[in-house]
Structures are given as C-alpha cells and as structure tokens.
Amino acid sequence: MSEAGPRRIWLCADDYGISPGVNRAIRQLLTMGRINATSVMMVGPAIGRDEVKALTAAADSQPGAAIGLHVTLTAPFYPLSLHFAPLAGGMFLPLAKKLQSSLLRRYDREIVRAEIAAQLAAFKEAFGRLPDYVDGHQHVQLFPQIRDAFLSAVQRAAPRAWVRQCGRNQALTRRLSQPKALLLDSLSVQFRARAHRAGIAFNPGFAGAYDFGQTSDFGAHMRGFLDGLPDGGLVMCHPGYVDQTLISLDPVTDQRERELAYLAGDAFARLLAEQQVRLS
C-alpha cells in the first residue's frame, strides 16, 4: 500500500426503479459491498413501496452507501408535473431531440425546474428523506438550460446533496478516441462552473461511459475507468437482470448482465486490491 493510502471512490449503479430485474441486481451488489451507491428513477415502473423498502435495507447493510435521485427527462418515461413541455405522446422527448432542443434554448427553465422539484419531492415521500446526491438519466443534468434548472432545484430542495459531473481525468489523446465521453467532458465544463458558483458539491472525477451497443469486455473497461480516477471520483455502472419490463423500456439489456457478472466476481475484487481502491 502506498503512503498516500487507498483511493476511495463511488461506484454507482444507475437506474434503480426501471425494472424488477435491475432492482434485484443492484440490491445484490450493494449487499455484497461491490457497489456503494445507486441512483433511483422516481418515474420508473418498479419503484413501489416494497422496492423502496428492500433498497433501504440493502443500503443500510453497507455503512456509507448512498442513495441518490436519477432525474429522468427523456422518453419513454412520463413527467410527474402537470405542465411539462414539450412532450411527445405524453412522454418526454427522446434523448437526441432533448439535447437538440436544449442546445437551441427551447425550454422554459421554470417548467423544467418544477419537474425536477416534483421528482425530488417524490423521492422524499418514498424514502422519508432527501437524496444523498442527484444526477441525471442519460446525463440530462449537463444539457444547456436543463443544467440551470437542475442546479436551481437541487439548491432549493436538497442543498446538502452533491451532484454528478461527468468530466474525466485522462490525457487528451485518450479522450479524443472516445467521442461519447468527450461530449460529456465538454458539457461538464459549464456544469461544474455553475455548480461551484451555486455552492453545490460535485464529484472530482468521473468514468464509466462506453458504447453499450457493442459486446465488450467490461473488466477491461473497468480497469480503464480506474486509471487516473482521483480520490472521491465516481464510476457509473448499469448492472441488472434482463426482464420483460427492461426490454420494453431500454435498449441496454444483455450488457447489464455482463456488468453484473463482473462486479459480483473475483476478478473485480482482485482489481480493487491491485489498484488500491476502496468503495467508500
């Protein structure tokens, strides 16, 4: 062990509430101590009382585990507030149109803030407390206009929560080879600046973005994610058991089971020890 001691990071499983199979996988990894945070979709179909109770028990079994709100503003999910716009068939816009509309400044910030506030209120009602942190499904918290509404809602309703930024700590040459992550880097610059001005804490480093559409070695990805991640940094992941609910809502299916298998296995435990990383 180095004199500086181990790095302590957040390993956060996104999408609790999207389906029973995803929920079960996340609770399994929490209980095993293989993740230490999960982000909850309050607009998901699998976030009833029993699922909330089971998640709370799993998190309580691991001291320091965090439960956050996964603000969701993209299809195929529906808003909680009454006057959210624009919508398509009553649902939020798909991701590409959401980003395009935000870049063109087509949103009313107060309407977006009201929806995020409604999701924060739903979390508080379900869990009996405010979230430990707040992030966004498909990284919507980083988008222009939405980021201002997001930070305003968090500052008002959950001022002690930290928020997720998605900028990495890697050499430029490596970043240029990963277009998706490069976009997140770019969007995170202004997000961090605005969060800092608002006095809202955020993670100092981020990793976890890769092409979910390709069959790939998640263990190799995880090794890369940990490379250069600072103390207090965050790695997102998407473990889950595939079920019909998930298939009907999200294109990321089989890759979730590959992530789950790796995170629950011995190779991941060895990597954490080798890299002197602790989930804390």
Cα–Cα distance between 172 and 130 in angstroms, integer?
A: 37
pLDDT (tens digit, 9 = 90+) per residue, 60-83? Answer: 999 999 999 999 999 999 999 999
> How many domains, in total, are found in the chain?
1
What is the sign, positive or negative, of the torsion defined by CA atoms of 104, 111, 195, 231? negative
Cα–Cα distance between 274 and 253 in angstroms, integer?
A: 30
Distance separating the N- and C-terminal Cα atoms of the chain: 17
Residue 57 lies in a domain: yes
Average pLDDT over every residue of 156-170: 91
Residue 267 lies in a domain: yes
Is-contact 233 207, C-beta < 8 A?
yes
Residue 95 lies in a domain: yes
What CATH number is attached to the domain comprising 159? Answer: 3.20.20.370
pLDDT (tens digit, 9 = 90+) per residue, 176-213? Answer: 556 778 889 999 999 999 999 999 999 999 999 988 87
Exposure string over 55-67, b if 16+ CB within 10 A, otherwise e: beebbeebeebbb
pLDDT (tens digit, 9 = 90+) per residue, 109-128? Answer: 999 999 999 999 999 999 99
Is-contact 75 92, C-beta < 8 A?
yes
Query: Residue 276 pLDDT more than 70?
Result: yes
Residue 1 lies in a domain: no
Is-contact 255 239, C-beta < 8 A?
no
Q: Give the tokens for residue 269.
A: 């435990």
Total count of residues recorded for the chain:
280
Residue 19 lies in a domain: yes
Report pLDDT for 180: 75
Residue 2 lies in a domain: no
* pTM attached to this predicted model: 0.94
Quote the domain boundaries for residue 129: 7-279
Paired strand residues for 135: 70
Q: Which of 37-46, 73-82, 99-108 has the lowest mean pLDDT?
A: 99-108
Residue 250 lies in a domain: yes
Cα–Cα distance between 261 and 66 in angstroms, integer?
A: 22
pLDDT (tens digit, 9 = 90+) per residue, 230-255? Answer: 999 999 999 999 999 999 999 999 99
φ, ψ dihedrals at 275, nearest 5°: -85, 0
